[in-house]
């Protein structure tokens, strides 16, 4: 399968580079692009949701399986392992919504406003997503 089969099932797909895209994640109520997709030179398709959705959940939401992410193997070739499957620019694009969330709450705090329990929880989630994004970018 090429990345096109996956991309055709996603919403608001945007190309970010050669063989790289971001889109809304179909596994959760996504307001901005949090799903990164990459097609490697050997035809493998990688995906990562920066909101924390498991790859299986993403695939279930679009009616695909893990087998669909890999090209048919010919002669048992062992594919070269990618050291860094997602570049830092893709990670930053996916985290841009989280940056706005953090800015919104930081502004409220600087005005002396108390955050609700829900707001504190959302702020903590944004921080976790940033930490996870940093780990993926430096993997």
Give rounded-to-5 percent helix, strand, coil for the chain: 45, 15, 45
Inform me whether the pLDDT recorded for 77 exceeds 90: no
Q: What does the alpha-carbon distance between residue 75 and residue 67 come to, in Å, rounded to a whole number? A: 17
> What are 85's two structure tokens?
């499957």
This model's pTM is above 0.85 = no
pLDDT score recorded for residue 109: 94
Band (85; pLDDT cuts 50, 70, 90): low
DSSP class of residue 76 equals: T
Counting Cβ atoms within 10 Å, is residue 131 exposed (0-12), middle (13-18) or buried (19+)? exposed
Query: In the structure, what pLDDT confidence band is assigned to residue 73 with cuts at 50, 70 and 90?
Result: low
- Domain extents for the chain? 3-137
- % of the chain at pLDDT higher than 90: 47
Q: pLDDT digits over 86-137, tens only?
A: 667 777 777 888 888 899 999 999 999 999 999 999 999 888 888 887 777 6
Report pLDDT for 41: 85
Region of 33 please: left (phi>0), alpha (psi -120 to 50) or beta: beta
Residue 19 CB partners (closer than 8 Å, separation 6+): 3, 38, 39, 40, 41
């Amino acid at each position: 399968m090429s990345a096109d089969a996956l991309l055709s099932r996603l919403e608001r797909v945007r190309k970010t580079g050669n063989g790289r895209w971001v889109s809304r994640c179909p596994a959760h109520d996504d307001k901005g692009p949090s799903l990164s997709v990459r097609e490697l030179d050997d035809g493998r398709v990688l995906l990562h949701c920066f909101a924390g959705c498991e790859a299986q959940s993403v695939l279930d939401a679009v009616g695909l399986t893990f087998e669909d992410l890999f090209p048919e193997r010919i002669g048992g070739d062992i594919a070269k392992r990618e050291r860094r499957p997602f570049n830092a620019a893709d990670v930053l694009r996916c985290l841009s919504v989280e940056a706005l969330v953090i800015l919104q709450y930081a502004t409220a705090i600087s005005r002396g406003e108390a955050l609700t329990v829900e707001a504190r929880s959302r702020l903590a989630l944004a921080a976790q997503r940033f930490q996870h994004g940093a780990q993926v970018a430096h993997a």
